[in-house]
Amino acid sequence: MGVEPQVGWISLLSDTPESNWGSVEAFSRKVLDGKRANPIKIKARVWGKLLRSEPRPKRGDGIAFYHSTRAGFPDGDPYKKRPRISLIATLDAVELEGQEVRYIEFSFDRAMAQALRKHPIVRDESTRHIFARCGIRPGPIASYYFADPKAWAEIVSLSEARRDGEHVPGAKTPGGGIYPEWTRDELILLLDLYFRVDGSRISEKSPEIIALSELLNDLPVHDRVSTGTRFRSRSDVQMKLREFLRFDPRYAGDHSSRGPRGFGLEAEVWNHFAAERSKLRATAAAIRDNYKRLAPPDSAATVDADEEFSEGRILAKLHKIRERDPTLAKKKKAQVLRQEGRLECEACRFDFRATYGELGSGFAECHHTVPISAMKPDHRTKLSELAILCANCHRMVHRGQEWLSVEKLRQIILASQS
């Protein structure tokens, strides 16, 4: 029989006579300060009311201490007095009287506590869904809210990330750089793994997480000078993977039915691939199979922001490198000249020679119509997979997130002219 996933309880703290431990500063003094052995163990007669009859807190459950808007935050609070989780721990004992919690014992790791003291889990756009899932709302003080396995796993993951110095203000990588933003390529690989495993329960020690962490650190998508040598640790990957839970309609109790909100690029990747799993698998496989063909970012082909396909920057760069191969382009243009007698843009019908005379003779660009994600590793490009385009139309098929076919571009041009 498998181990039952851990659940947790969120204890609401406020700076009022009825609440537990009062203000943020009082809580820190009574719980976090002092020299105690690690793990730190606390025994406390605290009052609180359970807001549901079942389940009931028990030994081994998690507990998070949440300072509400009435928690007496000091002036100059760096988090603008937003509600926050200031500590997570494990319940060692609990005494109940009906729906009331009368006494608890709990223990916690000193390093985790110090990290949350400096960088608490603040209720903002990125974490709002967790607190909403637990039912936390303005109103009752000294209350205990239930955190199901999914919510508790996210809270623990965020706490571990803070303990490890990841994704917190001013965090540094092990190499001494700054953690970079996640790229589309990385998120595609993450989403591919998300659908292959149970994203709500996968451990940072799992072979899949370890392998993806190694792969992300090897991708040529970040400047190693500014980031340091490594930055996508196992816990970092696990935490980021769980962010897709908020978009997944399979998990009841979240707000996914309203559509992805926040997490701009994460939402874009989810919206593009979640309903097209085969396309996602093919794109992720193409990134894994081809990324080593690229040099580091500073020496690879450049890709403008509006040229980065939904498939990510790595495949966009490889596509541009492939189109710069003069051998295939020369053969394609020679074939078209033999068959048609001219090089005419297949989208807009522009002919450089007809407009510029001899100066434009033989001039046109070649576009590869098959995306790299649709190719097998041993694919050999055929001349029939190349299209003759003028420079403007070639730029247009590369613009935007969608792969635009030559036929689709032709229809756009005709519609604009009619």
Return d(Cα 347, Cα 338) in angstroms, integer: 20
Distance CA 258, CA 260 (A): 7
Q: What is the pLDDT of residue 219?
A: 85
Going by their DSSP bridges, the two strands 121-122 and 365-368 should be labelled as unpaired
pLDDT for 373 equals: 63
Report the pLDDT value the prediction gives residue 58, as an integer from 0 to 100.
93
* Token representation of residue 310: 């939904």
Pick 173 or 138 by higher pLDDT: 138
Q: Give residue 139's pLDDT.
A: 58
Token readout for 311 is: 């498939």
Asked if pLDDT for residue 13 goes beyond 70, the answer is: yes
**Which structure tokens are listed for 61?**
């459950």
pLDDT confidence bin for 249, thresholds 50/70/90: confident
The pLDDT, as a whole number, for residue 146 is: 93
- Residue 3, pLDDT score: 45
- H-run or E-run covering 401: none
The residue-averaged pLDDT of 174-202 equals 79
Phi first, then psi: what are they for 147, rounded to 5°?
-115, 110
β-pairing, 121-122 vs 40-44, is unpaired
Inform me whether the pLDDT recorded for 255 exceeds 70.
Answer: no
Distance separating alpha carbons of residues 262 and 119, to the nearest angstrom: 21
The stretch 172-185 carries a mean pLDDT of 66
pLDDT at site 320: 67
100 touches 109 (CB < 8 A):
no
Of the candidates 114, 116, 119, the residue with the CA atom closest to the CA atom of residue 34: 114
32 has a pLDDT exceeding 70: no
Least confident of 64-68, 83-87, 246-250: 246-250
Q: Per the structure block, which two tokens stand in for 387?
A: 């299209």
Most confident of 6-20, 196-210, 329-343: 329-343
Instruction: Considering only residues 374 and 152, tell me which one the structure prediction assigns the higher pLDDT.
Output: 152
For tokens 């370890």, name the residue: 210
254-266: average pLDDT: 50
**Res. 31: pLDDT tops 60:** yes
- Greater pLDDT, 72 or 190: 190
pLDDT category at 337 given cuts 50, 70, 90 is very high
Q: Which range (29-38, 167-176, 209-218, 235-244) has the least confidence? A: 167-176
Q: Is the pLDDT of residue 10 over 50?
A: yes
Is residue 37 over pLDDT 80?
no
240/157 Cα distance (integer angstroms): 9
- Of the pLDDT bands very low, low, confident and very high (cuts 50, 70, 90), residue 22 is low
Average pLDDT over residues 377-398: 83
DSSP assignment string, 377-391: TT----GGGEEEE-H
Instruction: Report the pLDDT value the prediction gives residue 158, as an integer from 0 to 100.
Output: 86
Strand stretches in 111-269, DSSP E: 121-122, 143-147
Q: Is 367 left (phi over 0), alpha (psi -120 to 50) or beta?
A: beta
Q: Which two tokens stand for residue 309?
A: 């396909």
User: Which amino acid is residue 24, in one-letter code?
Assistant: V
| Most trustworthy range by pLDDT among 187-191, 249-253, 399-403 | 187-191
| Rounded CA separation 55/62 (Å) | 13
The residue that leads in pLDDT, 126 or 122, is 122
- Rounded mean pLDDT, 260-283: 80
Q: With 50 as the cut, is the pLDDT of residue 260 above it?
A: no
Question: What's the rounded mean pLDDT across residues 391-416?
Answer: 85
Which two tokens mark 129? 């869904």
What are the start-end ranges of the E strands in 56-195? Answer: 62-67, 84-97, 100-108, 121-122, 143-147
Q: What is the mean pLDDT of the chain?
A: 78
